[in-house]
Structure 1
Amino acid sequence: MNIYHADIQIAAARHLGWMPDSIVVTDDDITVSGWALSIWDDPAQLRFLINGADFDQVDRARASTDLLTPFAHIPHASTSRFFCRHLRAGRPELFADGFIRLNVTGPFGEHRLSYRTAWYLADPAREPAMPSPEQIERVIGAGNLQAFRLGGATIAKHVEQLLPERFDRPLASFESILDWGCGAGRLSRYLSQLSPAVTGIDIDADNVAACARTLPGARFVHIDLMPPTPFADGAFDLVIGLSVLTHLDEPVQDAWLEELRRITRPDALLLLSVQGLTQMAFYGTPPELNLEAHRRGILDVGVNNQLQAVLDDAEYYRNVMHSPDYIMSRWARWFDVLDILPATACMQDLVLLRRRAD
């Protein structure tokens, strides 16, 4: 057994656990297919839940030999696919709060931290106009509409529940929320359904303009590749940055952390995502790269081409890995680094920071 491969796979199984491949919503039913991993639970005892209730039909232990490549060390990986069906007739409205919650748990069901492994889907009937596949691809690397919707809704709902769980503060208590690196509005489109105080900013002018046209519940601002932004000192009390620092080399990273400190008020919270072991499992990242990132603290793997069509500087947008110790130490120059939560931003880890008083 290669201990490095095993550590990466175990992290994915423990902190993410499962993933839907397809969700189909009709007037008659909702069907979900995907895969679910377990380390200690008997796969036969896993529960497949929709809004906390068991699905009407569950077909489990389907063949999944394709998962032996990313999850060779996880028990039952070769038979971890499933299919579920939930009938809608005569049932309460599933999208009562605008979202459905999907989860796979052990035999005891959900608890107060189960939101971290749940996936959420917004009501298709209430969705604003969607960006083009090209605009989506610049954000998530592929023009996959379902992945875009599922990831955005899930992260928005994770944030909504993380704030009271960790900080005893509901989302509604924040007066000014920044979606730093909003892209095509993956997060803003759902976050703005939960709060009227969202501002999205990005270096992709085309995506910013599209968000401004289609998402009236938030405001959007195009920004330059480097600070400063047009915002006043202390403009925001909550910042969420999804997969932004994963694309900035160290000097650019430091400049933006300094700017985030300037535009946040004392005691503001920042939730910034980074690559972790779970994402490495899905992307097949060689453990040697993580070892090198662990040694150096920050590892610039090279240019990322997703934004080449919209940026003048072809070298700006990169693929970057961080070690947890580096984050805890270096980012403490600007903020109190409170925690790093594995796989809470879907596949990415979420760094929790607080702005210190001057």
Structure 2
Amino acid sequence: MTNANVMSDSQESALMDEETYKVIEQQFGGTLPVPESINEELLAIPEEKVDTCNNNLHYAALESVGKLKRFKEEEEEEYYPAPELFSTMLSDEAFTGQLNFQCSLGTGGTGQDWLYSEKLDKVFIKMEKVLPMRFTWEPPMSGLYLRTTMVFMLEQYRSDPVRRCHNHMASTNPINLNMDPQRIKHVVHCVNHASSIYQERNEHLSILTPLCTPEAGSQYMPVSFKFLCKNSCPSGLNRRPTELVFTLEDHGGTVLGRRKLLVRVCSCPKRDKAKEEELSSMSSKRKLGNVVLPSSKKMLSSCDTHVYKVDLNIVGKENYLTVLKIAFDIMAGQAARTGQHEFYKPYMDEILRKMP
């Protein structure tokens, strides 16, 4: 037997009173069209049934609105700053900010995998080996992000993107098997945070890692990195000195702090560390402070500062080292005569780093 008070599907779908419409309009914006037939259909239905259906639809509408709000809140919790915001990573200025952002090296630098030079404030590390880092900020609140970018240290190369060489990016390279295509170009990889996002804008690459508060009993957030290309690779880093730049960012991408660390990816950290420290000592001896100039001699205030790039093929290691030494001595002498040590120092340091 059919109940006379049971409504058809079409009647149930049309049941929505003015109050319910207003609730939906307030939550979603705009104005909803009211069907002209709604009043006619309501008149044909018993009043008590209409009230019951209206209440059900009213609560259903409110429940849908609540679900939408929760969905939007979840989306916002998973929001990451837009890639275009990391253009500030090219800045060379380090600062701790109001949150006292700090970074330090973890343990494990034995010389087999990586070594740290206090004299140079620089890390020497083998390719594919893990570099443990520790990050702190005060107070240790959550909702922040760490952006990691490798950049060229010298100013003339600062705007060039740092990426892996052609050989290390090749599909035949076993390291690249099953690797996410978005990560292929990156020299630096984060190895202990699967939630890290690899971003690219204008060919510049960075890694964005969500930060959480340190675990109970710990004062820092550990983040570890690997390097999948060497500084000596000709088509990638091309023997140019590099550094890691770390920025602490908030939910909207505002930079709250910046730290940096010189890094050289090489085959023998112990050997390269010893060489660079020795060359740095040689460079220090040539500073103006070790040169006595006659008081009557006036230093030149200016000279030819145009930078010329020379690309030569030198036969023989001794000849190659001799050319580099002569170039270094010429600029060291020019710096001593003119007093423009700050200008010449980056170029002299670059020559020192090219010495094998």
- The TM-score bracket by the shorter chain reads under 0.3
Higher Rg: 2
Structure with the greater relative contact order (CA < 8 A, sep ≥ 6): 1 or 2?
2
Q: TM-score normalised to the size of structure 1? A: 0.22
Q: TM-score normalised to the size of structure 2? A: 0.22
Compare the two structures and name the one with the higher strand fraction: 1
